Amino acid sequence: MGFAATVTATVLVVVTMMTMMPEMALGAVYKVGDAAGWTIIGGVDYKQWAATKTFQLGDVIVFEYNSKFHNVMRVSHEMYKSCNVSRPIETHTSGNDSITIQTRGHHFFLCGVPGHCQAGQKVDINVQRLTSTAAAPEPSALASPSVPIAHTPTAPAPKAAASRVSAGFELLFLALSVLVIGAVA
Ligand SMILES: *[C@@H]1O[C@H](CO)[C@@H](O)[C@H](O)[C@H]1NC(C)=O
Ligand SMILES: *[C@@H]1O[C@H](CO)[C@@H](O)[C@H](O)[C@H]1NC(C)=O
Ligand SMILES: [Cu+2]
């Protein structure tokens, strides 16, 4: 393979990798409750914990807990509000559950052990929808047909996009350096 063909092939590979990056985007990792973890001890305010974060698509939410005493259930908004654990959407029991957030909107989690949700072991992970009014209350916004979902572009956050692009250029630079070294050697 000639030098030009090698360059072309390398550029193609790098461009392909850059295109794939949004899917491979390394989201932030958030451990629920930070050092306290997922517990009813110490009165951790999970609402406050979540309020200080700006969750993005691809972020990983880690629930760390003693699996003898707790679990993690993803539930509907209704069940979340009333601490009803009868019909979870999904249940995690490993004691170290990493959940990647792949959709916008609210993700309601609670501990299904009797009494724990009532004691405050519940958390709402909200990835904001791309509407102009960020403070819109969730139930009406979800139900309202007047919210045109289709027109909101699913552009990644500017900061994340910028770091992805620069990561791409770093890769491109790296690949070209390897090529140049190869050609010289
Ligand atoms: C919990 O939810 C289920 C169905 O989602 C319902 O049948 C049940 O009555 C609810 N329990 C309570 C205590 O609200
Ligand atoms: C939980 O899993 C992560 C990796 O997914 C690991 O880094 C961490 O040490 C684990 N924590 C415990 C307590 O096992
Ligand atoms: Cu619990």
Q: Which is the closest atom of ligand 2 to the Cα of 98?
A: 5
Neighbours of ion ligand 3 (CB under 5 A): 70, 111, 113, 116, 121
Residue 39 has pLDDT above 90, yes or no: yes
pLDDT tens by residue, 6-18? 545 544 444 445 5
Q: Are 172 and 14 in contact (CB under 8 A)?
A: yes
Q: 25-130: what CATH class?
A: mainly beta
Q: How far apart are the first and last CA of the chain?
A: 16
Q: Are 32 and 61 in contact (CB under 8 A)?
A: yes
Closest CA to 84 of 108, 106, 107, 112: 112
* All structural domains of the chain with their residue ranges: 25-130
Cα–Cα distance measured from residue 68 to residue 66, given in angstroms and rounded to the nearest whole number? 5
Give start and end residues of each alpha helix (H) in the chain. Answer: 3-24, 46-51, 77-82, 138-143, 158-184
- Are β-strands 29-31 and 60-64 bridged in parallel, bridged antiparallel, or unpaired? parallel
Give the pLDDT band of residue 185 (cuts 50, 70, 90).
Answer: low
Q: What is the pLDDT of residue 21?
A: 53
Which carries the bigger pLDDT value, residue 37 or residue 25? Answer: 37
pLDDT tens by residue, 142-168? 444 443 444 444 444 444 433 444 444
The percentage of the chain sitting over the pLDDT mark of 70, rounded to a whole number, equals 57
- Are β-strands 72-75 and 105-110 bridged in parallel, bridged antiparallel, or unpaired? antiparallel
Supply the DSSP string of 114-125, one letter for each residue: TTTTTTT-EEEE
C-alpha dihedral sign at 152, 53, 33, 124: negative
Q: What rounded mean pLDDT belongs to the chain?
A: 75
The alpha carbon of 77 and the centre of ligand 1 are apart by a number of angstroms equal to 13
pLDDT tens by residue, 86-119? 999 999 999 999 999 999 999 999 999 999 999 9
The alpha carbon of 117 and the centre of ligand 1 are apart by a number of angstroms equal to 15
The answer, yes or no, to whether any atom of ligand 2 lies below 6 A from the CB of 64, is: yes
| Structure tokens belonging to residue 120 | 């405050």
- Calculate Rg over the CA atoms of the chain: 22
